[in-house]
A and B are shown apart, each in its own frame.
Chain A
Amino acid sequence: MTSGAEKVVIVGAGPAGIRAAEMLVSAGVKPVVIDEGMKAGGQIYRRPPDGFTRSPRELYGTEADKAVALHMLFDRMVADGLVDYYPQSSVLACANPSLYALTPSGRREFGYDRLILATGATDRLAPVPGWQSPGVYSLGATQIALKAQGVALGQRIVLAGSGPLLTLVATQLLKAGAEIAAVLDTSSFWTQMAGLPGMLARPGLVLRGLLMRAKLGRLYHPGVKNMGIDADERGPVSIRWQDAHGAMRASECDMVGIGWHLRAETQLASLAGCQFDYDTGWAQWLPRTDRMGRAAEGVYLAGDGLRILGADGAEVAGRIAANACLSDMGLAAPDSSADLRRLARYERFARGMARAFPWPADMVRKTPDDTVVCRCEGITAGQLRDGVDFGGGEANRVKSLVRVGMGRCQGRYCQLAGAELIAAKAGISVFDAGRLREQAPVRPAPIGAWVRDA
Chain B
Amino acid sequence: MKPHPRTGRIVRLSETARPRVHFHLDGSPCEALLGDTVLTAILSSSDRLRQSEFGPERRAGFCLMGACQDCWIWQVDGGRLRACSTLVTDGMRLLTEAPAGWPL
A378 and B9 in contact, given A236-B3, A409-B70, A412-B68 (Cβ under 8 angstroms) = no
A156 touches B3 (CB 8 A): yes
Contact in complex: B40, A140 (CB < 8 Å): no
Contact pick for B57, options A134, A252, A444, CB 8 Å: A134
Contacts of A444 in B (CB 8 A): 69, 72
Given A155-B5, A156-B3, A375-B68: 18 more A-B contacts, CB < 8 Å? A49-B35, A51-B34, A52-B18, A88-B85, A135-B9, A144-B64, A145-B10, A146-B13, A150-B15, A152-B11, A154-B11, A176-B13, A255-B9, A376-B69, A408-B68, A413-B63, A413-B67, A446-B80
Q: Tell me the complex Cα distance, A151–B59, Å.
A: 18
Secondary structure call for the B interface: loop
B85 touches A136 (CB 8 A): no
| Shortest Cβ distance from residue B58 to the other chain A in the assembled complex, whole angstroms | 5
Per-position binary interface string of chain B over residues 74-92, scored 1 when its CB falls under 8 Å from any chain A CB and 0 otherwise: 0000011000110100000
Tell whether A235 is near chain B: CB-to-CB under 8 Å. Answer: yes
Q: Does A152 contact B59, Cβ atoms closer than 8 Å?
A: no
Q: Which residues of A contact B62 (CB under 8 A)?
A: 136-138, 141, 375, 413
A4 in contact (CB, < 8 A): no
Residues of chain B in range 1-23 having any CB-CB distance to chain A below 8 Å: 1-5, 9-19
Q: How far is the CA of A448 from the CA of B74 in the complex (A)?
A: 14
Residues of B within 8 A of A252 (CB): 1, 3
- Which B positions have Cβ atoms within 8 angstroms of A? 1-5, 9-19, 34-37, 40, 43-44, 47-49, 52, 54-55, 57-70, 72, 79-80, 84-85, 87
User: Knowing A54-B14, A152-B11, A409-B70 touch, does A145 contact B40 (C-beta < 8 A)?
Assistant: yes
Give every chain A residue within 8 A of B87 (Cβ-Cβ): 38, 49
8 pairs of A and B residues whose beta carbons are closest in the complex: A134-B60, A150-B15, A141-B64, A378-B55, A408-B69, A378-B54, A254-B3, A150-B14
Q: Contact at A122–B67, with CB atoms within 8 Å?
A: yes
CB distance from A128 to the nearest CB of B (A): 13
| 8 Å CB contact of B65 from A136, A144, A156, A376 | A144
State in angstroms the CA–CA spacing of A154 and B44 once bound together: 10
* Shortest distance between the CB of A130 and any CB in chain B (Å): 9
- B57 near A138 with CB under 8 A, answer no
